[in-house]
Amino acid sequence: MTTRPYWLNFDPQLDLMLERVIDVPVDRVWQAWTMPQHIKKWFTPEPWKTVDCELDLRPGGLFRTVMQSPEGQQFPEVGCYLDIVPQQRLVWTSALRPGFRPVPLPVSTPGHECAELPMTAIILMEPQGRGTKYNAIVLHRDDADRRRHETMGFHAGWGKATDQLVEAVKAM
């Protein structure tokens, strides 16, 4: 029996996707996603900023960012890598901490509702001419979380962050 890879099991009732062809090569996109000094330049849509980042690039390893609002309030996000295939795929989740430990129940943080939204992110990249076919897929636990994330501005926010990634890569 042939099973489809998990990233091909996109469910529009549960998941969101951003798909683009971007005009930077895969190896540079990979660097932008796997080096903290690069992530800090593009990861959070402006006017927000990513002020800190720590990565342990292995399954079970740490994916941590600290986002800062325009008012200066900081929001740490801690997750766990699930799958890593160099220059092809990165998968992490906010539902687990490093070492695959479950997260504590969420605490409401006014102005930063995303922290209460457990999700799994799948970043796919493959060469397309001189550029990269780039997919960002976010899996949610239920339709309500998916709708909430979409209403919070998934497409605009992840789209802007992707534009910033392209700009950052071109400046490397």
Give the angle 64-66-72 at the CA atoms, nearest 5°: 175
Sign of the four-CA dihedral 10, 143, 165, 23: positive
Mean pLDDT, residues 145-157? 93
Residue-averaged pLDDT of the chain: 89
At the topology level, CATH places domain 15-171 in: Alpha-D-Glucose-1,6-Bisphosphate; Chain A, domain 4 (3.30.530)
Does pLDDT of 73 surpass 90? yes
Please report which confidence band the pLDDT of residue 113 belongs to, taking 50, 70 and 90 as the band edges. very low
| Residue among 103, 99, 83 at smallest CA distance from 91 | 83
Does pLDDT of 53 surpass 50? yes
The pTM of this model reads: 0.88
Cβ-proximal residues to 81 (8 Å cutoff; 6+ apart), any chain: 56, 57, 58, 59, 60, 61, 62, 63, 90, 91, 92
Mean pLDDT, residues 22-42? 96
Yes or no: say if 129 and 111 are a contact pair by the CB < 8 Å rule.
Answer: no
Yes or no: say if 150 and 14 are a contact pair by the CB < 8 Å rule.
Answer: no
Please report which confidence band the pLDDT of residue 63 belongs to, taking 50, 70 and 90 as the band edges. very high
* Domain layout of the chain by residue ranges: 15-171
